[in-house]
Structure 1
Amino acid sequence: DGPGPAGGPGPAGGPGAARELRLDPLRSDLDRRRELLLHRLAVCGVPYGQAREVVGAGGATALTSRWEVRWTPATAAMLTVAGVRGVTLEQAVEGVLRERRRAERDEGGPTAAQVLEGLERAAECGLPGLADDRLDDVAEIVPHAGTLPELLAALALLDRLRAGHIPGLGADPERTAEAAAVAELLTAAAVRQVDGLTGAEDPADAHALLELAHRADLLGGIRLTDALARLAADGSPLMRGAAGAVRVLLGHEDAREFGDRVASWVDGATDSGSRAALTARLAGLLTAAGPLLEAAPPALEPLLNRVSALPDRAFLDRLPALRGGFDTLSP
């Protein structure tokens, strides 16, 4: 299954012709080998396959993949260069990734982002020993140095690892158990970071808070409950809206009571400052619009009713603020 005009995943149209591959590596052993080959070539810098985005149903992580492959003279040239690193492509790619890890350490790292990328590359390239080393790095570095988005990215990667959704790695009970233990460390670290979001004004932080809530309802315990209450009371307008929505989703606050409070935000938006706050609060709240509509519609009904009942003048005064908040729902 090597690359090239004459075989494997190589394009049938000859040198320079591109071909699209749709692979199902978790169900097809042939596709798994092709996926492994394409990832290894990419890490070795061989210009052959380009991964294309695939989104699963409902926005979930896709279990299939799509690649565009193209054989060029540069492909052959770089294959020769890769051969300097090892007799086989597996040896070559492990040499590249281990050298990358050594370089990170020599420069005072690795950082949380480097650790996560290193684990993902090792897993995708079917290098179990290096993947285990990188998993140890994740446990050592990410809980202490990772930002909240990095912690959540690490948890998502470990989910894939534990579920067997990275085709390069076979099932390994010991690795699965270690990944579960590391996930607990990461979740606890993520919960500790909630207090650091008090002044946050980036919608990405609101999304991170919502994602954390999905994970931490079992592991976060009292600490998350208290942190969310503080955010809802003392956070920036954006985080007050987001924390309030998350508290409703976790059952920490009654949906109807929260909905009535949201409606009061509209009533209180009588000047430029309070209208700017309304925009931010709605942006935070509507980050969780989908889950709220599914699980707790009373949290949103008072807002919609209040807006529809506003007199024309009051509605026009608040329209820019409302539009700014509802822009969160735009794709």
Structure 2
Amino acid sequence: MTTFTVMGVRHHGPGSARAVAAELARLRPDIVLIEGPPEADPLVHLAGDPGMEPPVALLAHVPGESSRAAFWPFAAFSPEWQAIRHALAAGVPVRFCDLPAAHALAEPVPGLAEPAAPGPGSAGSGPAPAGSGPGAGSDQAPGDRDAGQVPAGPETRADDAGGAPGAPVVGERRDPIGELARAAGYDDPERWWEDAVEHRGDTPFEVIADAMAAVREGHVPDEREARREAYMRRTMRAAAKEGYRNVAVVCGAWHVPALVRPGPGAPDDRLLKGLPKVKVEVTWVPWTYGRLASWSGYGAGVTSPGWYDHLFAAADRPVERWLAAAAAVLREEDLPVSSAHVIEAVRLAEALATVRGRPLAGLGEVTEAVRAVLCEGDDLPVELVQRRMVVGERLGAVPDTTPMVPLQRDLRDRQRRLKLRAEALERELDLDLRKQLDLDRSRLLHRLALLGVPWGRPREARGKGTFRESWTLEWRPEFDIELIEAGAYGTTVPAAATGRVRELAGPGSRPPDPAGPGAARRPGRTAASLAELTGLAERCLLADLPGALPAVLSAISARAALDNDVTHLMAALPALVRAQRYGDVRGTPADGLAGIVASLLDRVCAGLPAAVTGLDDDAARELAGHIDAVHAAAGLLGSRGDAWTAALRGLAGRRGLPGLIDGRLTRILLDAGEFAAEEVARRMSRSMSPGNPPARAATWVEGFLSGGGLLLVHDQALLGLVDAWLTGLSGEAFVDVLPLLRRTFGAFPAPERRAVGRRVAAGETAAAAPETDEERAAPAVRTVLAILGRA
């Protein structure tokens, strides 16, 4: 006769993990069944590989559909992980017993177009939607029933209806740990769980089963939950049929009442008959503690994975060890923390636990001790301890024998060769492109961005020059889904990026959004605009993809020949000019690019006069931005940009220009040496004459000064003209133009604003500076010098 021992656990609970390990050592079962996708059974042996470092996750996905994917995370303190490791060490079979991912990923989520992801559970089960990135789902209490699985999507759905037990409600979602905590008089489920389980370690599984039976009394599971539990019972019966006599089952505590007596198989077979099914692939991927936290949206998450990891690893004197580690973190930031601080913090934490009637100081007590003693009441260093220790910044690792698509393996090899380690912690990377290693790193990050894997986010370089780049690196688990999807484009990173760019350059596709994954995998929405294509050409050169560039340049030529909108051409030109320059700096060939640049510039110069007519304020402001961008790009072309300067000089002499455009052209030509100061003063005086509406004069000033206010600091005549115009406005006119002036002067750097203010306050303007009578001033000067002791 087969004996079933069902151990109800809280997913990612260190107390449950210790209890499971101890119970399995006592029972010595013939087979261990664990809540999770059965498709992962062939991969479970990898958990015993020395190269497998939790946190890790099982990833199940439908090939070719990144929205149909789900993760099952495991930490070292997860009961399921400890059960797997025990079974592998003992040499007994270990299997997953939850509803297969092939069925779960085929089920539609009500109200969503995406399929539902399966759900193991914090204390039980619950469905969750799938999508393009993990960490979504509902933000639930620690006792929710989503069994350890994370949906791979941004959509959310309430999986926890809460509420007290009452009349049977089909599909009612409850927080079992929350209900038990309320019954025990706790208002914080996390605190109750720590007191009842984590800090005691002696709560028998029979007590947990009885508690869950009381919580589930009158509960009628919804269809999905019923099917999951039916499949678990089927797996238990199959193990008994195969001859196993001592079967251990590790599952979310919520499921225990439904599994303690497997019963006959006919009702479960009827319930499971005809389920939809899709083809799925399963593998192990690294996970992070940040994604394990419940604040990320993970239904079975815990609020403090770093703290739970510490409780599991440091069973002896956890409070003392935790506070000593917190002191070390603060010392790394050059904060003065002594051993005496740690001793006093331990005493305070233990005193707080005694006053509050807790068996051991919990996270709340040690955090208060850190704040009061180690940080001396300052919340900023407390946040540092919170981020590094309470949540944790750990990223797991999987062994080389883990099934991977060739693209994943190629990236892994490149990361090693380039000494770029994937880390969950954000870190800054400064590159000097004159060094081959840094140049190769830059190319890799740009190629991954084209594939929709923004491992690195560009930021402003700390130094000047085109040979410098700065990045912020942060690896996220969902990047593995994007890599699996991108494997269709090629088996190596350069080949896949080249294939993706060629697809994007074709009709009916749009370039990927560098801000995040997912956008790169949605072709066929709208055709890429000319500006997007030129931006793609620039990114090709940054990524060193010469094989993809001809297709992009061909698409640009075809699109530019049909596009007669000058603003579109102006928006496209700067990226092409930068691409040409990057090709020179990085040694990347860009044949054919110079001809396209010259053609676009000629068309822009010819069409600019017509583009400036009949513009309202918003259109004028947009065009002024394009003019600035093209002017900056033309400056990189050397003598080839002279045609642009000539076009601006001819345009500046026209009447009827919008004030913003007129002022901006005047400033550009002044900075370029095309206009003398006297000519600029004449134009400014004319534009600010009483015959012009004040609003038009204000937009002229805005356009003229948008290049910076330093000109007013050094040119007394121009400052005088602006000052005279402002002081000559009526009160009503001044109120009308004040928003424009505030926007103009508010854009200046603070030192420039202060310098202009000082000159105006001192009367240092051409309109207010009187002639100095040195003879009359001489007695006053002598008196002042005598007072200062310099006579």
TM-score under structure 1 length normalisation: 0.75
Deviation of 1:45 after TM superposition, in Å, equals 2.7
Cα–Cα, structure 1 residues 288 and 42, in superposed 2: closer, same or farther, change >3 Å? closer
CA offsets, 1:7-65, max 9 Å, x none? 431246xxx333322222x2121112222222222222335x131321576xx775422
CA offsets, 1:194-222, max 9 Å, x none? 22112332323224334545638612476
Deviation of 1:155 after TM superposition, in Å, equals 3.4
Matched, 1:186 2:600: yes
Match of 1:78 among 482, 486, 491: 482
CA distance in 2, matches of 1:19, 1:56: 15
Match of 2:452 among 45, 55, 64: 45
* Aligned residue type for 1:170: G
CA distance in 1, matches of 2:690, 2:679: 17
Deviation of 1:121 after TM superposition, in Å, equals 3.1
> SS at 1:27's partner residue?
coil
Partner in structure 1 of residue 706 of structure 2: 287
CA distance in 2, matches of 1:194, 1:150: 12
Tell me if the contact between 2:726 and 2:734 (Cα under 8 Å) persists in the aligned partners: no
Tell me if the contact between 1:56 and 1:63 (Cα under 8 Å) persists in the aligned partners: no
Tell me if the contact between 1:206 and 1:287 (Cα under 8 Å) persists in the aligned partners: no
CA offsets, 1:48-95, max 9 Å, x none? x131321576xx775422223333433334333333332222222222
Tell me if the contact between 1:238 and 1:280 (Cα under 8 Å) persists in the aligned partners: yes
Match of 1:20 among 417, 428, 435: 428
Match of 1:327 among 713, 724, 743: 743
Tell me if the contact between 2:532 and 2:572 (Cα under 8 Å) persists in the aligned partners: no
Partner in structure 2 of residue 255 of structure 1: 677
Match of 1:101 among 494, 502, 505: 505
> SS at 1:46's partner residue?
coil
Deviation of 1:132 after TM superposition, in Å, equals 2.3
Cα–Cα, structure 1 residues 287 and 149, in superposed 2: closer, same or farther, change >3 Å? farther
Deviation of 1:224 after TM superposition, in Å, equals 4.8
Partner in structure 2 of residue 119 of structure 1: 537
- Which consecutive unaligned segments of at least 5 residues does structure 2 have? 1-409, 510-523, 635-639, 748-791
Tell me if the contact between 2:427 and 2:472 (Cα under 8 Å) persists in the aligned partners: yes
Tell me if the contact between 2:431 and 2:442 (Cα under 8 Å) persists in the aligned partners: yes
CA offsets, 1:149-206, max 9 Å, x none? 5534543333333334587x6343xx35x32222211111111232211233232322
Where in structure 2 are the equivalents of 1:132-211 lying within 5 Å? 132-142=550-560, 145=563, 148=566, 150-164=568-582, 170-172=587-589, 175=590, 178-195=592-609, 196-200=611-615, 201=617, 202-211=620-629
Partner in structure 1 of residue 661 of structure 2: 239
Tell me if the contact between 1:260 and 1:303 (Cα under 8 Å) persists in the aligned partners: no
CA-based RMSD: 3.8
- After the TM superposition, which of the residue ranges 38-47 and 249-258 deviates more from structure 2? 249-258
Identity of aligned residues (%): 23
Match of 1:88 among 453, 476, 492: 492
Tell me if the contact between 1:249 and 1:292 (Cα under 8 Å) persists in the aligned partners: no
CA distance in 2, matches of 1:316, 1:197: 32
- Which consecutive unaligned segments of at least 5 residues does structure 1 have? none
CA distance in 2, matches of 1:291, 1:148: 32
* Aligned residue type for 1:43: L
Structure with greater Cα Rg: 2
CA distance in 2, matches of 1:185, 1:152: 12
* Aligned residue type for 1:37: L
> SS at 1:129's partner residue?
coil
Tell me if the contact between 1:160 and 1:166 (Cα under 8 Å) persists in the aligned partners: no
- After the TM superposition, which of the residue ranges 94-103 and 104-113 deviates more from structure 2? 104-113
Deviation of 1:147 after TM superposition, in Å, equals 5.1
CA distance in 2, matches of 1:228, 1:255: 15
> SS at 1:51's partner residue?
strand
> SS at 1:128's partner residue?
coil
Matched, 1:34 2:441: yes
Deviation of 1:131 after TM superposition, in Å, equals 0.9
- After the TM superposition, which of the residue ranges 192-201 and 274-283 deviates more from structure 2? 192-201
Cα–Cα, structure 1 residues 304 and 143, in superposed 2: closer, same or farther, change >3 Å? farther
CA distance in 1, matches of 2:623, 2:499: 37
CA distance in 2, matches of 1:71, 1:160: 29
* Aligned residue type for 2:665: A
> SS at 1:84's partner residue?
coil
Tell me if the contact between 1:54 and 1:62 (Cα under 8 Å) persists in the aligned partners: no
Deviation of 1:144 after TM superposition, in Å, equals 5.1
Cα–Cα, structure 1 residues 85 and 110, in superposed 2: closer, same or farther, change >3 Å? closer
